[in-house]
Structure 1
Amino acid sequence: MKRVLKILATAMVVVAVPGVANASSSAKPAQGELQQRLDQVVAAGSVGALAEVRTGDRVWRGTSGAAVLGTTRAVPVDGRYRIGSVTKTFVATVVLQLADERRLRLDDPVEKWLPGVVPNGQNITLRQLLNHTSGLYDYLYTIPFPPSQAFLANRWRTWNPEEQIRQALVHPPTSETPGTTYAYSNTGYLLLGQVIEKVTGKPYAKAIERRIIRPLKLRDTELPGTSPWIRGPHPRGYVPIEYADGVRLVDYTEMNPSVMGAGGEMISTNQDLNKFFAALLAGDLLPRHLLDEMKTPGTETKKYGLGLAWRDTECGVRVYGNDGDALAYNVWSFSTEDGRRQATLALTPNHDGDVDDAVKAFLDEAVCGHNDRK
């Protein structure tokens, strides 16, 4: 689930992995720089943060801040968290695998697979759902969000994609002509989840588990469905809620993730996300021509292809991946095209600052500075 709005505008742990970054004295300055950048992410607006950086066969893992608001409890370096819109890259990968198997085509109209569901569905393609140029209204804008207290009323509610899609399609499209304008829409990924089920005969979650999670042995990655729990070690996450005496952070770690569905329900770890993106970019999950399709933007104005985003670092190195916002958890996971340099950073925001610049500085350090000083 991408950040749909910005809401209201240290403990340190460095884990030494045997045989990797701490093996030589020349790597120590890079560790210090990465830790400093991670501390700055927390100072900019986080309760806690955890990161994993991979450079060749070297691995650095670190944490900063607190796992629980108001305490000094260290963030677990192997902590699990909700990955939000990084889920979309998993969904997109399955859709592209089905295209490779010739079970669907990227330029199939939505109407072919979901007849009568989407107005103008004969002119909206699966490709346009994937790259956010469908023009379909985002269903997330139809439900209450923080700091409204009404947001908490839906905390344990089980949503189904049919009702969310219906709520979205009551609203007019964001563009008159599909395929011409980028407008981020979680509705498109709910529809893609349904298309996967229509093609395979199984829920999209089962397809992701069978095609990605199990083959890559992503042991800490799951699609929780309606289960509100995050199993295993994890930091607590919070959302700001307005009360009569002001805005207070409310623990929102446990919640029914069906509200995010195929657009953002997954739970994972830094290690698993780095492993996933390394496999994806290496061509282990898709043939090269479809990976190239994944990297092709839907419009000239956005660095977003078919469920895959990219950014250019300060040293001119392009990295591919995605970022996600599950309100109480934020994550950025990016890798160089050759997979030799990877960085995944997750945090629990305190909703009292803008972390974007600090996150950018961390990713730049991970891809550029850490590599230069290894």
Structure 2
Amino acid sequence: MNTVKNLKVIFLIILAASNSYAQDIQQKIKNIVDSTYAADPKAVGFALYVEAPDQNLSFNYAVGYSNRETKQKLTADQPVLIASTTKPYVAATILRLVEKGRLDINQPLKKYLTPKSDQVLSTAGYHTNSITLKHLLSHTSGIRDYVDEGYFKFIGEHSQHAWTREEQIARAAGLGKPLSDPGEGFHYADINFVLLTEVIESVTHQPYYKTMRKLLGYEKRGLKVTRFAKFENAPENIASQAHQYWDQFGWDTYNLDPSWDLYGGGGIVTNVKEMAMFFQQLFNGKIIKNKNVLAQMTTDVPPNLEINYCLGIRKIKYAGLLGYNHGGGLGTDAVYIPQLNASIAVVALEAGHRPAAVEISKKIAALLNSNK
């Protein structure tokens, strides 16, 4: 009987210590976010989620406003447009098709394009038989992007224009000759991932966003909020989408037709928890289960170019630790850190303050590392 009592006492002591640790680290994370916001209130608001199962930590927090006009307080569960943080989801979908034996990323783009897209690109001087899916995934296709100063100017003047994917492909093709031969240079461009959604549709004969939902297993993975803007309705009984601002252009995303960034270069709406959970599950082999296929996502492409971009993911250092990362132009940043088996997702609601969101992630990574 005394042995049972002793075990109970030991268990309670361990539990109390664990709770104390969790409260301590959560408070430290709050302090990091609060101090960043105090020094940078023009960021409008910050929301974050930290998933670190080895440290028994699942924690979200928000500070600031989801609407700076009405001063509505921001909550961590509010969805946001994640812009280019969408790209890892598209890349993962392509690799799921590889895993299922339906694609080979070394195959030429021409095989999967609509005749119209192929003609538009070919007329502009692109050799679609030489550009592979891997070139698109790694931004080494040499295709010029449709996103430039003129694009942003047009959006500002025509905020409700409903862009089509075909328009964006045509705009990219019309901006000049190729930037480089395929595989010979790195040029980050949304057009690469816009074309990948056309590839997805060519293979599956379904809208890309429906295929992504199915192949990435949103429901099975607990991604209840995650959806593509405009094409998929928001679920009932979830928090309202936060306003996001880009003061450089005078934008409030509520006033823009989301088609300007919708077809794979961006387009996903989700919250920081589901961003972090997606990264955590992806890099723990819960979504792409074939380890060799998953490994391609974080393998340098190509090895002779000094770039940190692989297949829809960047490799950068967070507090000296390797991280698998992607950010988005609307203030989002998500990272998985293998050494910590932890994922961190942060959003700054004013797009120009994304560097502050990245710094929050780096400070949290250092904190988690110090508590290992």
Counterpart check, 1:37 vs 2:37: no
Structure-2 change in CA distance of 1:293 and 1:250 (3 Å): closer
Structure-2 change in CA distance of 1:227 and 1:284 (3 Å): closer
Which position in structure 2 is the counterpart of 1:110?
109
Give 1:125 shift: 0.6
Which position in structure 2 is the counterpart of 1:294?
297
- Larger RCO (CA under 8 A, 6+ residues apart): 1
Residue by residue over 1:203-246, the C-alpha shift from the partner in whole angstroms, topping out at 9 and shown as x without a partner, is 1111011112233131000012357989733332223377xxxx
164, 172, 175: which one aligns with 2:179? 175
218, 223, 232: which one aligns with 2:223? 218
Look at both structures and tell me which one has the larger radius of gyration over its CA atoms: 2
48, 51, 54: which one aligns with 1:51? 48
Structure 2 residue runs without a partner (length 5+)? 1-14
Structure 1 residue runs without a partner (length 5+)? 1-19, 243-248
% identical equivalent positions: 24
Residue type of the partner of 1:164? Q
Matches within 5 A, 1:146-295: 148=153, 150-212=154-216, 213-225=218-230, 232-240=239-247, 249-260=250-261, 261-286=263-288, 287-295=290-298
Residue by residue over 1:304-362, the C-alpha shift from the partner in whole angstroms, topping out at 9 and shown as x without a partner, is 11111222122x3212131112xxx31111112267322110121174xx552x33432
- 8 Å CA contact 2:226–2:268 kept in 1: the answer is yes
Structure-2 change in CA distance of 1:263 and 1:367 (3 Å): same
Counterpart Cα distance in 1 of 2:20 and 2:106: 53
Residue by residue over 1:61-117, the C-alpha shift from the partner in whole angstroms, topping out at 9 and shown as x without a partner, is 211222221554321121110011111111111111112222221111111212534
Matches within 5 A, 1:324-343: 324-325=328-329, 329-337=330-338, 340-343=341-344
Matches within 5 A, 1:342-361: 342-349=343-350, 351=352, 354-356=353-355, 358-361=356-359
Aligned positions, number: 339
Q: TM-score, normalised by structure 1?
A: 0.82
- 8 Å CA contact 2:318–2:365 kept in 1: the answer is yes
Structure-2 change in CA distance of 1:338 and 1:254 (3 Å): farther
Structure-2 change in CA distance of 1:154 and 1:21 (3 Å): farther
Between 1:39-48 and 1:155-164, the stretch displaced more is 39-48
- 8 Å CA contact 2:347–2:357 kept in 1: the answer is no
Residue by residue over 1:181-223, the C-alpha shift from the partner in whole angstroms, topping out at 9 and shown as x without a partner, is 1101111111111111011001111101111223313100001
Which position in structure 1 is the counterpart of 2:5?
none
- 8 Å CA contact 2:332–2:354 kept in 1: the answer is no
Structure-2 change in CA distance of 1:368 and 1:241 (3 Å): closer
Residue type of the partner of 2:132? T
What is the root-mean-square deviation in Å for CA atoms of aligned residues? 2.6
